[in-house]
Amino acid sequence: MTFFALASLAVSVDVKAQSMKKLPNGLEYEIIKDAPGTKTIADGSYVSMHIRTKIADSAMFDSYKMNNNKPIEQQLTAQFLGGFMDGFAMLTAGDSAVLRMPIDSAFKGGQIPPFAKSGDKVTYIVKIFSVKSVEEFENEKKEAGAKQVSIDDKILQDYIKANHLEAKKTASGLYYVIEKAGNGKHATAADKVKVHYKGTLVDGTKFDSSYDRNQPIDFPLSGVIKGWTEGIPLLEEGGKGKLLIPSALAYGQNAPPGSPIKANDVLIFDVELLEILK
């Protein structure tokens, strides 16, 4: 179902509001497409779906306008959804539905948006693509993570070879190169440090540089990506080197918004450890 078809559906639902069925908790629903399936959504299921939400006539959220029109994956819980969970519990993969509930019930115990008023209806228009249990989701995540480790290591080994680096590897999969020794002092993960750095992708794309700002930064090593928490203590104070960081020790799937960094990108940092700030 396209976004435009779904937009039309929202209009037709308003016209046919009186034909919607109702659950005891006040949730109104209409199953637009009932696909064959027995695996319904349970409390805690991870669900891949497209969803549009609105309060009265005000649009709130539209997954079709996000991430190149790809479905979102969300864990659905009764604690988060309240009475809407009863509606999702009727759906399986391939189903489409409209779920509607009075705002006073939908936000019971929560904060009603300032533009809304008592008596307004909250509407969810959903299309379900897949349903996974918590166990299935975690196993899939572990398998994908293990596969990504091998992919990242191959990328980093190719980078090391192409750039003729003499890199060492830690048990976590981090590679590092010591380019200049310092005074022999090493930071710990509990320290605050001052550094100059440049960050690039493996293709050379620069995404950040304190050198460009002509301003080093200081930060606690406990508050940065794992690759820095582990890698910067490998340098000596006053020394410099290169950190080659696999995605699991960088941002993984959670790439910074608006950055050239994408999901599962490995990162290359040139780092100069200027000072250890106890």
From 43, 129, 225, 270, active-site residue: 225
251 in catalytic set = yes
Residue 204's contacts (CB-CB under 8 Å, 6 or more residues apart) are none
- CA dist 13 and 16 (Å) reads 5
Per-state percent for the chain, helix, strand, coil, to nearest 5: 30, 30, 40
Residue with tokens 């029109």: 69
Q: From the candidates 197, 245, 268, 276, which is the catalytic residue?
A: 197
Catalytic residue among 84, 103, 269, 276: 269
d(CA 56, CA 65): 20
Question: Is 225 an annotated catalytic residue?
Answer: yes
Listed in sequence order, the residues at least 6 apart from 189 whose beta carbon sits closer than 8 Å to its beta carbon are 221, 222, 229, 230, 233
Candidate list 103, 251, 268, 276, residue with the active-site label: 251
**Residues 248, 145: contact at Cβ < 8 Å?**
yes
The answer to whether residue 208 is catalytic is: yes
Measured from the Cβ of residue 129, the count of other Cβ atoms closer than 10 Å reads 15
Q: Look at residue 107 and give its three-state secondary structure.
A: coil
Q: What is the C-alpha to C-alpha distance for residues 126 and 9, in angstroms, rounded to an integer?
A: 11
Q: Are β-strands 121-132 and 206-209 bridged in parallel, bridged antiparallel, or unpaired?
A: unpaired
The token pair that represents 1 in the structure block: 């179902």
For residue 211 the two structure tokens come to: 């050198």
Please tell me which residue in 43, 153, 208, 270 is annotated as part of the active site: 208
Q: Which of 137, 207, 219, 270 is catalytic?
A: 207
**Whether the Cβ atoms of residue 105 and residue 82 lie closer than 8 Å to each other:** yes
| Contacts of residue 69, Cβ cutoff 8 Å, sequence gap at least 6 | 3
Q: Which residues are identified as catalytic?
A: 197, 207-208, 225, 251, 269
